[in-house]
Amino acid sequence: MYCQDESRFGMFTRNGKGLTAQGVKPVCTFQQVFKAIWLFGAYSPFIGDHFELELSHCNSANFQAFLNEFSKENTEEFKLIILDNGVFHKEKHSLFQTI
């Protein structure tokens, strides 16, 4: 049995605030950029086994790619995955079955 979840990790280039005297606007260029990566993971609390995959976006296509790669690990093992209520988990064209 595995518990699956995904998280976004990233970094802002600048959040728009700077330290200046009161009434003085900061003199700097502003560029709002957020570079991120999504980490999909499945973890077994019973045996300590885990599988992680880094992907660029969090959507149904990447979730399906995660499931495809996860199914290639320990092919002799029957995998039961507990999911949260993510919208992309409920995609009608997914290749996995829900109970």
| CA atoms of 2 and 43, how far apart (whole Å) | 5
> Average pLDDT, stretch 78-96?
76
Give residue 99's pLDDT. Answer: 42
The 10s digit of each residue's pLDDT in 21-60 is 888 877 766 666 778 899 999 999 999 999 999 999 998 8
Q: pLDDT band for 74, please (50, 70, 90 cuts).
A: confident
Give residue 49's pLDDT. Answer: 93
23: left (phi > 0), else alpha (psi -120 to 50), else beta?
A: left
% of the chain residues with pLDDT over 70: 78
- SS3 assignment, position 66: helix
For the chain, domains (ranges, CATH) are 1-9+36-99 (3.30.420.10)
